[in-house]
Amino acid sequence: MKTLWGFMKKEMRQTLRDPRMRILLFLAPCIQLTIFATALSTEARNIRLSVFGSPTDSALMNLYRDCLASGWFIPAKVSSSDPFTQVQGGEADAVLVAPEGGLDKSIGRGEGRLQLLINATNVTRGQSIERYVNTIQLKRSQSDIQIQMPLQFDVRVLYNPAMRTALFLVPGVMSMLVCLITVLLTSMSITKEKELGTFETLIAAPVEPEEVIMGKTIPYVLLGMSNIPLILAVAVFVFGVPMRGNLLVLMFASMMFVFCTVGIGLLISTLAKNQQQSMMGGFLFLLPAMLLSGLAFPIENMPWAMRVFSYFNPITYYIDLLRNIMLKGGDTSLILFNVLILAAMAIAAIGFSWQRFKTTL
* Segment 309-330 mean pLDDT: 90
Stretch among 17-21, 184-188, 220-224, 272-276 having the lowest mean pLDDT: 17-21
Residue 152's pLDDT band, with cuts at 50, 70 and 90, is very low
**Domain range summary for the chain, segments of one domain joined by +:** 47-145, 162-360
Stretch among 89-98, 189-198, 303-312, 330-339 having the lowest mean pLDDT: 189-198
Rounded to whole angstroms, the Cα distance separating 82 from 49 reads 14
pLDDT in tens, 207-230: 676 777 787 788 888 888 988 998
**Strand pairing category for 73-75 and 47-52:** parallel
- Mean pLDDT (the chain) is 80
Question: What's the CATH number for 47-145?
Answer: 3.40.190
Residue 158's pLDDT band, with cuts at 50, 70 and 90, is low
Closest by CA to 321, choosing from 290, 297, 294, 350, is 294
What one-letter code names the amino acid at 222?
A: L
pLDDT in tens, 11-53: 677 667 767 666 766 676 777 677 666 655 566 778 899 998 8
Provide the 3-class DSSP secondary structure of residue 116: strand
Gyration radius of the chain's alpha carbons? 27
Residue 213 pLDDT: 77
DSSP-derived letter for residue 50 is E
Contacts of 279 by beta carbon, 8 Å cutoff, 6+ apart: 184, 187, 188
